[in-house]
């Protein structure tokens, strides 16, 4: 290997960093995760409005356990596609915390929307709120996570 000019070395390092940033931008959760989460959210809303409290409690605990089992595998953000798996350094340690924070925000949105719908006289405010949040999750989940990762520099 001969002498490498500083400009060439800088250009090579910049190209490597640009490629790393492009891969890091693709880190996230698979699209199916968001649609399953949306369907489960809607299901919980329906159960909460139509079933006794004990059934709602069991359904909520079941949802939490199932989500925990799925999320423990996916929340590293490293397995979005089968073709690329990145190191934990590239994925970053903040992705799981961001997803958990996002879920807490969605819970707050659900409760707020249900209160607003109930105050407006809606017959089934829990279902209406669940439909709203399920649509947000199913249609915008990956984009919301991508924005949150950018804001948190994760």
pTM over 0.75: no
Take residue 58 and report the two structure tokens written for it: 């069991």
117 pLDDT band, cuts 50/70/90, is very high
36 vs 151, residue with greater confidence? 36
CA pair distance 9, 29, nearest whole angstrom: 35
94, 154 in Cβ contact below 8 A? yes
Alpha-carbon radius of gyration of the chain: 21
Question: Given phi > 0 = left and psi -120 to 50 = alpha, else beta, which region is 77?
Answer: left
Q: Which residue has the tokens 């949150």?
A: 148
Are 60 and 124 spatial neighbours (Cβ–Cβ below 8 Å)? no
Q: Is the pLDDT of residue 114 over 90?
A: yes
């Amino acid at each position: 290997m001969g002498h490498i000019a500083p400009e060439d070395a800088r250009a090579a390092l910049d190209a490597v960093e640009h490629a790393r940033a492009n891969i890091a931008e693709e880190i996230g959760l698979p699209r199916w995760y968001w649609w399953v989460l949306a369907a489960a959210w809607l299901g919980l809303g329906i159960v909460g409005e139509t079933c006794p409290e004990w059934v709602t409690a069991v359904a909520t605990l079941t949802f939490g356990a199932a989500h925990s089992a799925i999320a423990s595998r996916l929340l590293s953000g490293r397995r979005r596609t089968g073709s690329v798996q990145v190191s934990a350094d590239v994925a970053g340690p903040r992705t799981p915390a961001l997803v958990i924070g996002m879920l807490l925000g969605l819970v707050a949105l659900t409760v707020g929307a249900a209160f607003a719908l109930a105050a407006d006289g809606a017959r089934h405010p829990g279902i209406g709120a669940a439909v709203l949040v399920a649509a947000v999750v199913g249609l915008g989940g990956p984009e919301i996570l991508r924005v949150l990762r950018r804001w948190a520099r994760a």
